Amino acid sequence: MNSFIELTKLNHASQETIEDFKSRGIIHKHEHFDISFANREKIYAEDAKEGLQEIISSFKSKFREIEHVLMCQGVGIGDYMNREIDVNLDDLQNSVESDSWYEITKGFLNVWEFIFLFSIAESALKEVVGNNEYVTNDLISKILKTHQPLESIMFEEHKMSKPFMISLWDLFCRLRNVYSHTHGVISEENRKALIEKSTIFKTEFESAYHEDLILSSIVIETEELFKHSTITTDKFYLIPDNELNIFRNFLSEFMSALDELLSDSNS
């Protein structure tokens, strides 16, 4: 989405910066009027990158401040503080399949949230099963077997069939394993497995939400999920908003329905 920005509002930026923005397509000057078009998406990416650079710079400064305080307190720490602090943003960008720092920053935040949500859900589901050593991949299937009304509730209220739920959980289990075992970097084995499992899930997603014209008009297109072009060997996998939203919404509805069933059975 583009917005209009008057050139006078860019006076705080140096001419060199403005020319740099123009050369990179961040700002486009109007052909006839003294205004410019700003590419908001690229500006967000630029802001995110500058923010990260400020964090790195601040960290280095804080590092030296701590060293000074410790020296004044007579605390000897040897050469510990002499380590070179070098966070190379170019290397970080090259490790992912994106050239937008806004998408990269958002993606890393989504990864953190996903791991957090998955961990909580896994613990809660194993507690319901009554076995902390139970195989994680089979948790949803096990609970649907032992709490049979849950299957019909999820389908009637949320259009989530048993195959839909099992394929979703299986896919995100595999994704969690990527972060746990290879630090988020896609191996060839991971790539094949993610493509295979995402294909199964996307078939269920299409059947659930895109065979109905009304639902189809308000739900994300299936092709936008787990694009094969973003599952790249030797690259860190960033979770986009739409994929995290599906996982988050599933957990919200599934855990709420399960909790209600458990409460009714205990009353």
Q: pLDDT, tens digit, for every residue of 196-218?
A: 999 999 999 999 888 776 667 77
> Does pTM top 0.75 for this prediction?
no
Percent of the chain with pLDDT over 90: 50
Burial of 205 (0-12, 13-18, 19+ CB in 10 A): buried
* In contact, 16 and 51? CB cutoff 8 Å: no
Tokens representing residue 230 in the block: 């973003």
Q: pLDDT (tens digit, 9 = 90+) per residue, 39-85?
A: 666 766 676 677 666 766 666 667 667 767 777 777 666 665 565 65
3-state secondary structure of 110: helix
Q: Give the pLDDT of residue 82.
A: 60
What CA–CA distance (Å, rounded) separates 50 from 207?
A: 43
Tell me, what's the pLDDT at 216? 73
Hey, what are 90's tokens?
């170019």
DSSP one-letter string for 177-199: HHHHHSTTBPPHHHHHHHHHHHH
Q: 244 falls in which pLDDT band (50, 70, 90)? A: very high
Q: What percent of the chain has a predicted confidence (pLDDT) above 70?
A: 69
> Which tokens sit at 242?
């739409």
pLDDT recorded at residue 114: 95
Task: Give whichever of 22-31, 83-92, 155-164 has the largest mean pLDDT.
Answer: 155-164
Strand, helix or coil for residue 205:
helix
| CB 250, CB 168: distance < 8 Å | yes
Q: Is pLDDT larger for residue 169 or for residue 53?
A: 169
Q: Taking residues 102-109, report their average pLDDT.
A: 86
Query: 121 exposed, middle or buried (CB, 10 Å; 0-12, 13-18, 19+)?
Result: buried
